[in-house]
Amino acid sequence: MLNHQFNTSLEQLKTIVSSGKQVYGIFGSPIAHSLSPLMHNEAFKYRNINAIYLPFLVAESELETALKTVVEGGISGLNITLPLKQAVIPLLDSITSDAKKIGAVNTIVVSHHTLKGYNTDLRGFLAPLRNYIKAMQYENAVVFGSGGAARTVLYALLKNCKLSSVTLITIEKARGCRLLDSAESWKKYDTILQMASFDDTKDSAEILWNSRLVINCTPLGMSGYNEDFPERFFRFLRPGQIVYDLVYTPLKTKLLYEGEKRGAIPISGLDMLIQQGAASFKLWTQQTMPIKAIKTLLWCQEKMLK
């Protein structure tokens, strides 16, 4: 049994497809916070593309049925967000080599009922870091989380940054160990991989303080999520650090606010959202997203909601 919100979106899908328009969408839970529908619908208008983008509330237990249902309904492509980026892989016909190595998919292209998975988060994550990669050589990094987003981030860091060490700080020890096992084969440089417990502040304190790059890959602090990023970590943020929160609603999360207050450089997840969205848009439409116009729109939208 699929949830009421999904069924409402499904009826919209069927109506729009019958009118001759293409439909794209996003699967996730929660989904109400997502700026992807606004971003893609505005990009479709800007490029005069006859298409609509819809949000679908999908829990992991509903994923297989939901995916089959929207494909039968005529959907042309999907984005996949938390908590489904890993769970969706066995349901696809093929995935790209990067997505396979990472073990996470965030974009699906549907062609004649055949589903191919991509990971455009890789490009999206790296784009805001490009100006800092050289300065981070031989420095340490901390990644909070061990899910699909953390897998993409760790893969990107190990392939593109000459870091001394990367430490996962996670609640799920077994999941973190599996991720680090996979990550050993991703290393381009002699980066040390290690893990610390999310619940052990003493263990995390020195690691955080000695890290140049701090990245939140969890939904903690996201609008609509029931938990904030733990305040106990804030006192270990310092000047010279880069604090990158993949959460983009609100634009300035508590983690970014506290990091900036202590002299760190904040990077909002909005930049990653737009860059990964642009890559998805290109896969679906073969056209480029108007990035500057979309960024202005999304910044204004989020400021109005504050």
User: Is residue 246 a contact partner of residue 272, using CB atoms and an 8 Å limit?
Assistant: yes
User: Is residue 31 a contact partner of residue 56, using CB atoms and an 8 Å limit?
Assistant: yes
293: which 2 tokens?
């116009």
User: Is residue 73 a contact partner of residue 44, using CB atoms and an 8 Å limit?
Assistant: no
Catalytic residue among 21, 85, 254, 295: 85
Environment class of 232 (CB within 10 Å of its CB; exposed 0-12, middle 13-18, buried 19+):
exposed
Place of tokens 């208008």: 45
Q: Is the peptide bond before 83 cis (omega within 30 degrees of 0)?
A: yes
261 given a catalytic annotation: no
- Measured CA to CA, the distance from residue 96 to residue 102 in angstroms comes to 10
**Residues classed as catalytic:** 85
